[in-house]
Amino acid sequence: MKAYIFSLAPVTQQNHENEMQFPYNIRFLMSFWNLLNFRNSGSQSVAAQADLARGAYLADALGHCAECHSPRNLTMGVDSSKYLGGGAVDGWTAFNLSSSKSSGLGGWTTDELAQYLKTGNVPGKAQAAGPMAEVVENSTSHLSDEDLHALATFIKAVPGQASDGPDRFSFAGHPTDITDYRADAGRHAGEGEQLFIAACATCHMLSGSGVKDGAYPSLFHNSVTGAANADNLVMAVLHGVERRGSINDASMPAFEDEFDDNQVASLVNYVKDTFGNPQGKVNAEDVHRLRVNLVAPSPVDSLMKVGGGIAAAVAIIIAFAAFLWFRRARTGRPRSHYNALRIPFPGWPSAGEGGARAAVRAIGGHRAAKVHARPLPQNKARN
């Protein structure tokens, strides 16, 4: 990698000025963030097996899987205690990759996971879309079979994160029977069903079964329709799917400009009810949030909004404290006060040994070392 970068022709380009607001433009503060969020423990402790070690290197050092598929902590660092337990990226849910049976990949085989990374498509399980489609198209589809197997072996070994409910791939749904639909002539179809028939059934079939080669996937036994939340389904309807794979391509048109928020909500709720997990219903407000990418603010966002004022207040307090310290250090008042209150300092002579007078001389001369005064003669002590 270094050899390739150094082979590129040099380009004269001035660095951009740091435009971040105070105090976030102070680079050394990152050392505290690093202290909180980085551990020099290497990749996961898997050196005992070659496949696991290679897979850990691919997942952590090269692929950075945890950056999307792990939740964030208060400082927006990766929460290592929930490694690969699921996250969010630009409105898309990055699903749990741990070995959890319900919300993770506990029901997948190693070969199925390797196939998904190679092609982005495992019929009856999942199809890559959004940012994950980009990962498959531009990255994992170009890995060797050995690396794909090593990466899948490592991911399958990640301990499961606690979760409840059935797995995302088990929902068989209750699709509309084509004979019953024709007999009824669609007279009782709601808005969601009408939109599905008009926009989706041509590819996904009225039954939601898709086609056998997976080019148009089944809507039941599907990780997106079976998820507890509908974010990825909404995003697929709004933005479509484009994925170039090593075996086949996938393309779904975007309906962002065709349907309004209420129509998207009706369509998504129909698909969830009919083919997948009926939980996670959405409304027009939910769709609008995802349409304009109104990501819920994290705790650190709130801190950043008030961070400048807090930092300024702290700076003023520190400056005032420093001023008082230097002022007292110059006048020597704190030390003379100690003497006046007769609070002994460790190592100083006692008052009976002429220590008080020696202490006064030590303060006047700004001496920092311990004072070792000899007792004065009795007639001089009385003076």
- Looking up tokens 């609008």 gives 288
Query: So what's the pLDDT on residue 183?
Result: 53
Give 113's pLDDT tier (boundaries 50, 70, 90): very high
Mean pLDDT across 300-307: 56
Query: So what's the pLDDT on residue 230?
Result: 93
Query: So what's the pLDDT on residue 252?
Result: 92
pLDDT tens-digit readout, 263-284? 999 999 999 999 999 888 999 9
Give 312's pLDDT tier (boundaries 50, 70, 90): low
Q: Is the pLDDT of residue 191 over 60?
A: yes
Domains of the chain: 178-299 (1.10.760.10), 306-382 (no CATH)
- CA–CA separation, 83 and 70 (whole Å): 5
- Structure-token pair, residue 349: 């002579």
Mean pLDDT of the chain: 79
Query: So what's the pLDDT on residue 32?
Result: 86
pLDDT tens-digit readout, 193-204? 999 999 999 999
Q: What φ, ψ does residue 51 adopt, rounded to 5°?
A: -60, -40
Query: So what's the pLDDT on residue 298?
Result: 55
Query: So what's the pLDDT on residue 381?
Result: 47
CA end-to-end span of the chain: 85
- Looking up tokens 């909404």 gives 234
| Statement: the pTM of the whole predicted model exceeds 0.75 | no
- CA–CA separation, 208 and 193 (whole Å): 12
Query: So what's the pLDDT on residue 144?
Result: 95
Nearest to 283 by CA among 230, 333, 239, 244: 230
- CA–CA separation, 143 and 117 (whole Å): 9
